């Protein structure tokens, strides 16, 4: 399993896309088991275990055989205010949590779903407590992080259509399952797609294992968690937005996902 050697709390915020050195390693849990979350969540998951005893979920991410545009979703309520200033690989900022490497491949449905080079890709997500940077001090989010810019970043896709970010595993908040926001533009800055990335669910999924990691600061557990079937974004179907997640709490996780745009 591909892993960038990224340690929690390491100050890499000054790196640019061209300066990232990618290393590889094999992520295992403390018992030596390699986990691979590729759950076939169809938007009807209510927490039923769909994984094997070794922690492997069998599932579907959008593949190049399905050459149709990824569904668009809402950008708000916490979009990045000035993404031009946040071109970076490491988006952790001052947040703590379990390592998550995010590998997103952009594909062009007007080019037989081949890799799309030169796409501008913005991502953002909440911290382990469910809070977003650049917002707060309101009824929607009481904690004020208006002067912070953590867990937000921009990159330009390479010749393989790939952008890579180093982050932490998101937490969750009321009404939403675990997710990542994505906004994609062409090289001229014209918006191509706003969408979201969903995480596999199930009793042995990464979402469950991470939210049980109180020693890493994930204190909410799964009590009150909103599954895809009840999520106000993913409840109409999640297959095309469902990522693959592999790894462990001790070594961190890698999320991979293909997004299809009409370029």
Q: Enumerate the β-bridge partners of residue 212.
A: none
pLDDT of residue 42: 36
263 residues of the chain, pLDDT tens digit each: 343 443 333 333 334 433 333 333 333 333 333 345 544 333 333 333 333 333 334 333 434 456 899 999 999 899 999 999 999 999 999 999 999 999 999 999 999 999 999 999 999 999 999 999 999 999 999 999 999 999 999 999 999 999 999 999 999 999 999 999 999 999 999 999 999 999 999 999 999 999 999 999 999 999 999 999 999 999 999 999 999 999 999 999 999 999 999 99
pLDDT of residue 47: 38
pLDDT of residue 58: 34
Rounded distance between C-alpha atoms, residue 246 and residue 54, angstroms: 12
Rounded distance between C-alpha atoms, residue 141 and residue 139, angstroms: 5
Kindly tell me the burial class for residue 89, based on how many C-beta atoms sit within 10 Å of its own C-beta (0-12, 13-18, 19 or more): buried
In the chain, the domains with their CATH numbers are 17-261 (2.60.130.10)
pLDDT of residue 105: 98
Other beta carbons within 10 Å of 217: 15
Cβ-contact 136, 173 below 8 angstroms? no
pTM score of the predicted model: 0.78
pLDDT of residue 53: 31
Cα–Cα separations (whole angstroms), residue 103 to 166, 197, 210, 228, 244: 9, 12, 19, 22, 10
DSSP string, 42-72: -S--SS---B-TTSEEP-----TT--SPPPP
DSSP string, 87-119: B-SB--TT--SSEEEEEEEEEEGGGTTEE-TT-
pLDDT of residue 14: 39
Other beta carbons within 10 Å of 54: 12
pLDDT of residue 46: 37
Rounded distance between C-alpha atoms, residue 117 and residue 167, angstroms: 23
Rounded distance between C-alpha atoms, residue 252 and residue 7, angstroms: 9
> Shortest CA distance to 104 belongs to which of 119, 93, 90?
119
């Amino acid at each position: 399993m591909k892993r960038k050697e990224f340690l929690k709390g390491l100050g890499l915020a000054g790196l640019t896309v061209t300066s990232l050195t990618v290393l590889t390693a094999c992520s295992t849990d403390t018992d030596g088991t390699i986990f691979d979350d590729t759950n076939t969540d169809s938007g009807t998951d209510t927490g039923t275990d769909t994984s094997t005893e070794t922690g492997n979920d069998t599932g579907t991410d959008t593949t190049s055989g399905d050459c149709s545009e990824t569904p668009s979703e809402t950008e708000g309520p916490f979009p990045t205010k000035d993404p031009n200033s946040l071109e970076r690989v490491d988006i952790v900022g001052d947040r703590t949590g379990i390592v998550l490497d995010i590998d997103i491949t952009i594909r062009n449905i007007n080019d037989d779903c081949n890799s799309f080079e030169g796409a501008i890709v913005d991502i953002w997500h909440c911290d382990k407590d469910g809070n977003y940077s650049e917002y707060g001090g309101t009824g929607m989010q009481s904690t004020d992080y208006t002067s912070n810019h953590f867990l937000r970043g921009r990159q330009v896709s390479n010749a393989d259509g790939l952008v890579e970010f180093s982050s932490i595993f998101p937490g969750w908040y009321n009404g939403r399952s675990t997710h990542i926001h994505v906004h994609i533009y062409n090289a001229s800055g014209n918006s191509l797609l706003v969408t979201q990335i969903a995480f596999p669910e199930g009793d042995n999924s990464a979402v469950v294992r991470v939210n049980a990691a109180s020693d890493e600061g994930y204190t909410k557990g799964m009590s009150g968690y909103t599954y895809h079937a009840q999520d106000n974004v993913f409840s109409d179907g999640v297959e095309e937005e469902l990522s693959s997640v592999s790894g462990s709490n001790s070594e961190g996780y890698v999320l991979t996902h293909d997004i299809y745009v009409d370029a």
